[in-house]
Structures are given as structure tokens and as C-alpha cells.
Amino acid sequence: MAYQIIDNFAFGLDTRKSVLTSPAGTLTRLRNAVITPGGEIAKRRAFVKVADVPGTFGLAATSAKLVVFGRNVAPPIPAWPFSPSIPLVGLKVPNANPALEQFDYDIFNGRVYLAAHEPGVAWRHYYENTAGGPMVETEGTGKGVYIRTYQAKMYGVLGSNISFSAVKDPMIWTSPASPANGAGSINLAMQDADLESLTSLEVYYNKMAVFASEATQIWAVDPDPLQNVYEQLLRGAGTTAPRSPLQYGSGDVLYLDQSGIRSLKARDSSNSASVSDIGSPIDSTLQAIRLARGDAYMTTAVSILEPSVGRFWMVFQDQIFALSYFPGPKITAWSQFDTGFQVKHVVTCGGRIFFRDFSDGIWVYGGVDGLTYDNCGVEVRLPYLDGKKPGHKKLFQGLDATVSGLWRIAISFDFNNPEAEENICTISQPTWNAGRDEVQGYDSHFSLRFYNEDALAATISNAAVHYEMADAET
């Protein structure tokens, strides 16, 4: 008797190849689960609603507090289960009409800096000038839609200009003739026509990456604006999702391109940038979503780092793509989550991930205790495997697996009809010493499927299908 064992899922979700030619260790579906540093599959934790904050807008976070905003008032704060370790604070925003909405924020000197939009009026900037006090409008109003703190200055992009505040003072964005204060702007379209409409910016090693939809410029920026130096153009590498660029790892920047998730990566010791295809395993999935949901949906992407393990998350309105990247054990694995609600903002604070939905609800990943699970509908689907003999029929006889938690296991033999499958068993512990579960089938290929449908933690470590070669084909 022969068997095929799958004991490492290090490649995660990978849709680059046919379900018939994808290698063992890849998955054609990995929904609501992640790959662990050990190459195993673990169910994701729950998204749990913990408060409602009516009469407020936005969501921001410093290292010490979570923040919502009130239009011309300091908003009341509801009962909050994370106090006092992660307080929820309401900050008054002045000069705000009823349509003012948060577009971006960053932290400057431990305080919140907000970029907000009044439709048809202005792109406004506000700063928490005294800790916990009301926000104050800055000279950055009208100078930036998306912002980033770097080298004691605040930077913003609008149109073809990247503007920047005075050194150590984000209130001041106007540069007088004398004395110089470091504030000013650069017209990037003078370097290249593809930079006429800037979308975002992010720190890239010790430089700044400035994005447009079709190109990116790399600048060496300095507190002294006379020392700012244009260094590199990356044509065909841009984003229309302004909140997607995020520094990850040692300095690379991941972002959402038209073709999928890409990375600005240093190609040599000079830190000159090149573009890597780290997201290529899920390109076809993202492209299908773009065709089905439209470009406007893709622009909602927000990138964050999961604090507990350091996974990269790209968060869309109702789903998340998570990258489990662990270089030591050579794991680079994507997976896909359903949120179950519409995400408007997402931040990290105090080692936790918080969300705001479109109905004034605040949610947290993992619940209040960080260990809460729900019945999120985990689905794991392997490609069609063949025991390295695709032209030979096999008599399938049994299955063994190492799992924890409750899993319903099914199998498909017909790669021309991949949605057709047969239930094998439901197990909640390793089967190796308990007698394998029976599998009946006669075909050349098989695809295992695992489903978890309860509200408890669950993992998959390995699985094996036992078979005999058909007599005439041994």
C-alpha cells in the first residue's frame, strides 16, 4: 500500500497554477485561517464588536490610546472594556462641517495628526497640540490628503506636490524668506509626467517613496529642504489605494498595485529600489475581485501589521488578505479572511487590532481577551494530488490526519467538477493510532478539503491519503 502525506503548508494560498499541477504544500483555498511559523494551519480568531460611538467620526491610535473625533464637540465615550490599559478618547475637531470625514492620520511627537476632508470645501489638517486637548487646525490645510511623519517633519501629498511642515512643528507649513524653518513643497511632476496626481507616500529605508497611480519616485529627504534629492523613478509601480503602502520587515514597502500586492525592495546595498512580486500567489484572486467589485472597492485597502505575530494584513471593506512571512522556516503564505462587517477604519493599539465599521461600531480582533473564536466558516482546500503518477489510477482506501478542534473532511476525485466532493469523516484529534478513516474511490487524482464549523480553536498539522495502485498499472 502507498500513501501521500502532506505535512507542511508553508506556501499557503497559491492560485498561480492549475489545481492539477500545483505542488503539495500549496492550497487552492485558505479561508479564515493562517499558516503558523511551524507550517501548520490555524483558525483565525473572531472579530468581536465591543462598543458603539455615535456622534463621532474616524478612528486613530497612538501607542497609548485609541481615538475617535467629534465635529466641534468633545464626544462622550461609552463604556469601554479595555480601560485603563487601552483608553478610548474623544477629541474635539474645530471648524468642522457635518460632512467632515477622516482620510488619514499619523502620530507626531506622540500626538494625533489628522487629515480630513470636507467635500467641496477643503482638505483640512488638525493636530492634537496638547496631549488630550482639542485638535487645532494647522497650516497644512489644503496641502495634503495622505500624510506621513518622518525626520521631525510632517509630509503630505496633494496633486503633484509633496509638502512638508517646519522642523519639529507640524503646525507650520509656510516657509518665510528668513529665517528658514524647513517647511516647503516639491512639484514632483517636474521630474516625471506620471507624477501629476500623487496618491500616497511611505518611508522606504532612510528615504521616502512617493506614489502615483502609475509610478513611484524615491527621494532622499532631509530636515533642510535644500538637501532634498530626487534619486529614482519606478515606472509602472504605483497605487490607487492610498492607505495600502506600508513599511514591512527591514524597510521594504508593500502596496496594492493594479496587478496585485507588490513590494518595493532594495536590490543592493545602496537601497536602490526594485519591485518584487511577493503577492503573486494571490494575483488572480485579487484581479477577480477587482473585476467583480470595481476599482473604487480596491482603493479602500488599508495595510497594517498584526502586533502579536507580525503578519502583514491588507484590509478591504469586507475581507482581509494576510501574509504569514517567517524567513527562518521558509514560510511565505497568503490567506484570506471574511470580516462579517463593513470596515471603514482599522488601527493597532496596545498590541490589539481595532476596527470601525460604517455604523459607528468598534470591533476588536480576538475579542476582549484576545483569544475568542467564532464560527467563521474555515475552508481549506488542497490541489489535486497524484502521488507523482498522474497517469495511473489508484484505489483509495483511507485517510489519517493530525488535527485539533473539530474538522469535517471531504475529498474530491473529479478535477473537471471540483465542487463535487464526498464527505469522509468528522474528527477532533489525531487518527494515526485509532484506525484510519475509510476512503472509497478509484481515480488518478484526489483533493482533500477541511471545514471547521464551530466557535472553538482548531488546527491542521498534516494529512495522508492511503491507496493502492490499480493492478494493471503497478
> Last residue of some domain: 372, 406, 425?
372
Rounded mean pLDDT of the chain?
A: 94
Query: Among 382, 375, 378, which Cα is nearest to 401's?
Result: 382
Q: Helix, strand, coil shares of the chain as percentages rounded to 5?
A: 5, 50, 45
Q: Are residues 37 and 87 in the same domain?
A: no
The answer for residues whose C-beta is within 8 angstroms of residue 246's C-beta and 6 or more apart is 202, 253, 254, 255, 303, 304, 305, 312
Query: What 8-state DSSP symbol labels residue 293?
Result: H
> Last residue of some domain: 352, 372, 392?
372
Q: What is the pLDDT of residue 432?
A: 93
In the chain, % of residues over pLDDT 70: 98
Pairing of strands 66-71, 57-61: antiparallel
Q: Are residues 27 and 141 in the same domain?
A: no
Domain coverage including residue 433: 2-44+379-473
Residue-wise pLDDT tens digits, 307-348: 989 999 999 999 999 999 999 999 999 999 999 999 999 999
Q: Are residues 405 and 452 in the same domain?
A: yes
Q: How many CA atoms lie within 13 A of 270 on its CB side?
A: 8
Least confident of 102-106, 316-320, 432-436: 432-436
pLDDT-derived band at 473, boundaries 50, 70, 90? low
Number of domains in the chain: 2
Residue-wise pLDDT tens digits, 46-62: 999 999 999 999 999 99
Q: How far is residue 322's CA from residue 338's CA, in Å, rounded to a whole number? A: 11
Residue-wise pLDDT tens digits, 350-367: 999 999 999 999 999 999
Q: What is the pLDDT of residue 472?
A: 57
Q: Which three cell numbers stand for residue 202?
A: 511611505
Q: Please state the rounded mean pLDDT for residues 361-378.
A: 98
Where does 151-243 show beta strands of DSSP type E? 153-158, 161-164, 184-187, 198-204, 207-212, 215-220, 229-235
Report the largest interatomic distance among the alpha carbons of the chain, rounded to a whole angstrom.
Answer: 92
In the chain, % of residues over pLDDT 90: 86
Can you say how many angstroms the Cα of residue 42 is from the centroid of all Cα atoms in its chain? 18
pLDDT-derived band at 179, boundaries 50, 70, 90? low
474 pLDDT exceeds 70? no
Q: What is the pLDDT of residue 435?
A: 77
> Last residue of some domain: 372, 407, 432?
372
Q: Are 335 and 35 in contact (CB under 8 A)?
A: yes
Q: Are residues 79 and 144 in the same domain?
A: yes
Q: Are residues 200 and 73 in the same domain?
A: yes
The CATH number assigned to the domain holding 197 equals: 2.130.10
Q: What is the pLDDT of residue 122?
A: 86
Residue-wise pLDDT tens digits, 279-313: 999 999 999 999 999 999 999 999 999 998 999 99
The CATH number assigned to the domain holding 7 equals: 2.60.120
Q: Are residues 305 and 424 in the same domain?
A: no
Residue-wise pLDDT tens digits, 112-137: 999 999 988 889 999 998 877 789 99
Q: Are residues 249 and 353 in the same domain?
A: yes
pLDDT-derived band at 434, boundaries 50, 70, 90? confident
177 pLDDT exceeds 90? no
Q: Are residues 237 and 263 in the same domain?
A: yes
Q: Are residues 13 and 62 in the same domain?
A: no
Q: Are 407 and 424 in contact (CB under 8 A)?
A: no
Q: Are residues 127 and 175 in the same domain?
A: yes
Helix (H, G, I), strand (E, B) or coil at 117: strand
Q: Are residues 303 and 324 in the same domain?
A: yes
Cell 480601560, residue? 83
Q: Are residues 323 and 297 in the same domain?
A: yes
273 pLDDT exceeds 90? no
Pairing of strands 29-31, 437-443: unpaired
Q: How far is residue 246's CA from residue 312's CA, in Å, rounded to a whole number? A: 9
Least confident of 13-17, 39-43, 191-195, 214-218: 191-195
Q: How far is residue 257's CA from residue 270's CA, in Å, rounded to a whole number? A: 24
